[in-house]
Amino acid sequence: MKERQIDDQLVIYGRRFSSRLLLGTARYESPSLLDNSIRAADPAMLTVSLRRQVAGSPDSGESFWNLLRETQRTILPNTAGCLSPHEAIKTACMARELFQTNLIKLEVIGDEVSLQPDPFGLVEAANQLVRLGFQVLPYCTEDWILCRRLMDVGCEVLMPWAAPIGTGQGPRNARALRELRERAPNTPLIVDAGIGLPSHACQVMEWGFDGVLLNTAVSRADDPVRMAGAFASAIKAGRSAFVAGPMLVQETAVSSTPEIGRPFARDYSTRSGIRTDSNPSSSIHPLLKSGVTDRVVG
Give me the residues that bind other proteins (CB under 8 A), please.
24-28, 34, 47-54, 57, 59-62, 64-65, 68, 77-78, 80, 90, 93-99, 165-166, 193, 213, 215-216
Dihedral sign computed on CA atoms, order 200, 201, 205, 209: positive
Q: Which is nearer to other proteins, 25 or 127 (CB)?
A: 25
Q: Which is nearer to other proteins, 90 or 183 (CB)?
A: 90
DSSP secondary structure code for residue 215 in this structure = S
Q: Which is nearer to other proteins, 196 or 242 (CB)?
A: 196
Which residues on adjacent β-strands are paired with residue 191?
A: 212
105 is catalytic: yes
Q: Give the Cα separation of 225 and 216 in Å (integer).
A: 12
AA identity, residue 97: E
- Supply the minimum distance, in Å, between the C-beta of residue 60 and other proteins: 4
Could you say which of 90, 105, 236, 289 is catalytic?
105
User: What does the DSSP assignment read for 218-282?
Assistant: HHTSSSHHHHHHHHHHHHHHHHHHHHH-PPPP-SS---SS--TT-TT----GGGGT----SSHHH
- Supply the minimum distance, in Å, between the C-beta of residue 120 and other proteins: 22
- Supply the minimum distance, in Å, between the C-beta of residue 96 and other proteins: 8
Q: Which is nearer to other proteins, 104 or 242 (CB)?
A: 104
Residue closest to 91 by CA, chosen among 141, 55, 52: 52
AA identity, residue 221: A
Q: Which is nearer to other proteins, 82 or 204 (CB)?
A: 82
- Supply the minimum distance, in Å, between the C-beta of residue 52 and other proteins: 5
User: What does the DSSP assignment read for 96-157?
Assistant: HHHH--SEEEE--BS-TTT--B-HHHHHHHHHHHHHTT-EEEEEE-S-HHHHHHHHHTT-S-
Dihedral sign computed on CA atoms, order 136, 141, 142, 147: negative
- Supply the minimum distance, in Å, between the C-beta of residue 131 and other proteins: 16
Please identify every residue annotated as catalytic. Answer: 105
